[in-house]
Structure 1
């Protein structure tokens, strides 16, 4: 029985079987594979191209469709409903879908219909915000990601930078209220804007969407917070069910990640931040993918605790990028972070295990494969202990005082500057990253 995971590999073998009769390699622009919301695939063929086929070619195309239906079973459209005819180029048909190329021996285009309009399948084009944006992401929650982001914001503000913090963890809001005491919270939050923008009310929310955090009081810089929700969170659950809607601009469809990116540009015009720190949703859902890929940040910090759950999660993600041919577009923005290193007498074995497991994930899915003993100057490949490799973790230690801290805006009353620097060595890596960009 063919399962969902088998579909694309089986399709490549089917196309190879029929390549001789249909010249599929040369006709890649004439067809694509559509995979619907139920996981069923259909062959879509250019109507004009089919019209020009002789009898033998038409018979070969019907044989291909019959092979798809028989081999893939319930995961394919019936043979008598294929091929679906359309007019190439297929730009309109690909709107709102994830589009990628699959296959090494006979590559073909897949148009994947998804319930949401954000995915882990491609990275957006970089823009003027990308170089100033850092996303804090983790496979699992509870790894100190939000605390590390608050510390990074404090550190950058101490250097005189204007920092914008965006709480994208809408399903589990916490950073917002932790950085902003009650008397500083704005009327609205990011969720309000996403809902109001769909009905073209976004501008009404924009001026009451942000506030400054007391965490930066007394520093040379400033921390501007875009919270998940405002002073009054209202009917939060009902709003969550509508936040991911697209908006129509005339006949143009604007997905919610595109809307989010537009908002950040508007806020950038208002506040002109030196850097943007994005607290992404933990896990592999669509909110996290929008932060990591649709915003095209220059740097994505991958928080990790040493353990099977961590590496299974990152392996799933990296394997997806490798399978659909997107690894090269994404990998250079990634950086592993060893989060909340336990207070062991000797921490080095723990860090080394984490480094080795991170290296295995990167080596198998993201690094270029090189023959043993050979090196290529432009190859994206690193040894396990290479200190500048993205798998080599930036370090954050566990601290008992921080684990009991309820409000991040009181950070300096819990730890002095020297203790913060000692607990969060990754701040030095951040400084170096900004220096390299400059």
Structure 2
């Protein structure tokens, strides 16, 4: 009995056995519906070619028994469409490994699409703070980063996109400065073309601003109102006048562009929801992030989670589009045995990156590059061709962690806002220095610690 995880390898094996037939098709879609059942979609021109149509039906008759129960009845196991784009209709799709004209299409209950990677923004730098697990000090680190950049004279825009567990705004804004509206309000009002009315009342300036400014856009306003009812609507696509659908992530991008035009920040800091869900997918893949900080605690839960995410990028051939933007952050590094803790964190991070995102470097063919350097004619490490790969001890590598140290003055705080109001630069650097230096370097602020 085939399970969901066996669908792709089973389909691949059957298509490989019928490669000559597959090569005659302009394109072929392996469509997985919401229930995980598979049917094939081919160009409608195939339907008019009796011989080709018969061959495709025979292929389906071979495939269906091997996929059961993840196969549609043979009477409806093949669809004919005018174009591949029309057949996909915005669903998540990626090329099937080993084929130039075959794609796997996933129809999902949500519009989250970890394989659809937006290119890096060319305007204001955007930095996303993300973690697989909650409770790792991610929002605290973002608040400290905003504080530090404002100390250096930067204008910082902060977005609290942890919509299901909001709280970042309370770290940067006292109650009297909380704006009237937040991101959830804008997304709901946008559905009825009323978003412009509230844009001016959803940004507040933090009292923690120094030589620069910290502009905060909270998840909700000073009076959350019917927050749960609104939260259930923020993911909605918007139906445009021409009857096309605008994905919620595209709506969020419109909001961000409007905020950037209004605030004109030097950098945008985005607090993402933890876990592999709709919000996290949008923050990491859809908003053109230039730097994605992956907060990590040493432990199997962390690395199993990141491995699943990286493997999805690997399967979807999307890794090369995002891997250079990633950076591991060692979260809440303990006071005792810090060195050994960070070594273990680095070792496990390296293992995950090597297995999923780094290039597997193989020796070049001797006839292509000349003789090997060894006197015995064997290839040595120095003879390997170049690729996107790093040594485990390379401090500039994505897997090498920037450390955020645990500190008793931040443990069990009732008010992060009050703590940041009285903290000094030395204290901040002692706790967050590695992270802050890395962010400054990424922004081209070397020497401004």
Q: How does 1:36-435 map to 2 (within 5 A)?
A: 36-51=33-48, 53-55=49-51, 57-88=52-83, 90-104=84-98, 108-129=102-123, 132-216=125-209, 219-249=210-240, 250-344=242-336, 346-371=337-362, 373-374=381-382, 378-425=386-433, 426-435=435-444
Would you say the 8 A contact 1:338–1:394 is kept in 2? yes
Q: TM-score normalised to the size of structure 2? A: 0.91
Q: TM-score normalised to the size of structure 1? A: 0.94
Offset at 1:106?
6.7
Give the CA RMSD over aligned residues: 1.7
Distance 1:205 1:95 in 2: 32
Unaligned runs of 5+ in 2: 363-379
- Cα distance per residue 1:395-432 (max 9 Å; x no partner): 11001111232333323445321111111121111111
Distance 1:178 1:435 in 2: 27
Distance 1:117 1:248 in 2: 15
Offset at 1:378?
4.7
Distance 1:288 1:176 in 2: 18
What is the SS of the residue equivalent to 1:75? coil
Offset at 1:341?
0.4
Offset at 1:95?
2.4
What's the counterpart of residue 30 of structure 1? Answer: 27
Report the more deviating stretch, 348-357 or 372-381. Answer: 372-381
Number of residues of Structure 1 aligned to a counterpart in Structure 2: 427
What is the SS of the residue equivalent to 1:435? coil
CA 134–79 in structure 1, closer or farther in 2 if over 3 Å, else same: same
Distance 1:31 1:307 in 2: 41
- Cα distance per residue 1:338-396 (max 9 Å; x no partner): 1110010x311111000000000000000000137256675110111111111000111
Distance 2:162 2:383 in 1: 41
Report the more deviating stretch, 116-125 or 389-398. Answer: 116-125
What is the SS of the residue equivalent to 2:230? helix
